[in-house]
Amino acid sequence: MKVQAYLAFNGNCQQALNFYGELFNADLKNKITYEDKKVDVPQDYRKKLQHAELKGKKVHIMGYDATPDTPLHHGSNIHMSVDLNDVDDAENVFKNLAKQGTTHHDFREREWGYFGRCTDKFGINWMVNCNC
């Protein structure tokens, strides 16, 4: 069994996955746009991503741009979690995710290791952990 995240965006999926790809050293794969699809979307939305996957070493995130008639609300019921083994790497990942976003818990040492929680500039919630 495999469980993984599938993230929905409001037209900025390409930018978000590019950002995460740089941060996590992963590549964008299986890009499918709305072009030539029998989906009722505006013409200027046709180049948006209907499906894409970000794949790298121990990273696999799927995402898409929800159609304009699909309401999306930034929710607090799901967080992406990143576990690292090096505190400097973990702090760097956290700082990049939190930049232009919102920090909810500063990245610092906790009773179980290092931890920080933020919402990134794309509205995705993240927890960064380091048990080092």
- Which tokens is 94 given? 């956290």
pLDDT, tens digit (0-9, with 9 covering 90-100), for 6-15: 999 999 999 9
Question: Looking at domain 80-130, which of 3.10.180.10, 1.20.1440.230, 3.40.50.170, 3.30.750.24 is its CATH number?
Answer: 3.10.180.10
- Mean pLDDT for 73-100 is 92
Place of tokens 């740089």: 22
* Domain 6-65 matches domain 80-130 at the CATH topology level: yes
**Of 40-44, 72-76, 114-118, which has the strongest mean pLDDT?**
114-118
Look up the CATH architecture of domain 6-65.
Answer: Roll (3.10)
Instruction: List the chain domain ranges.
Output: 6-65, 80-130
Show the tokens assigned to 55.
Answer: 């794949």
Let me know how long the chain is.
Answer: 132
In sequence order, the 6+-apart residues with CB closer than 8 A to the CB of 6 are 62, 63, 64
Coil, strand or helix at 45 = helix
Report the predicted TM-score, pTM, of the whole model to 2 decimal places.
0.86
CA–CA distance, 1 with 68 (Å, rounded to integer): 32
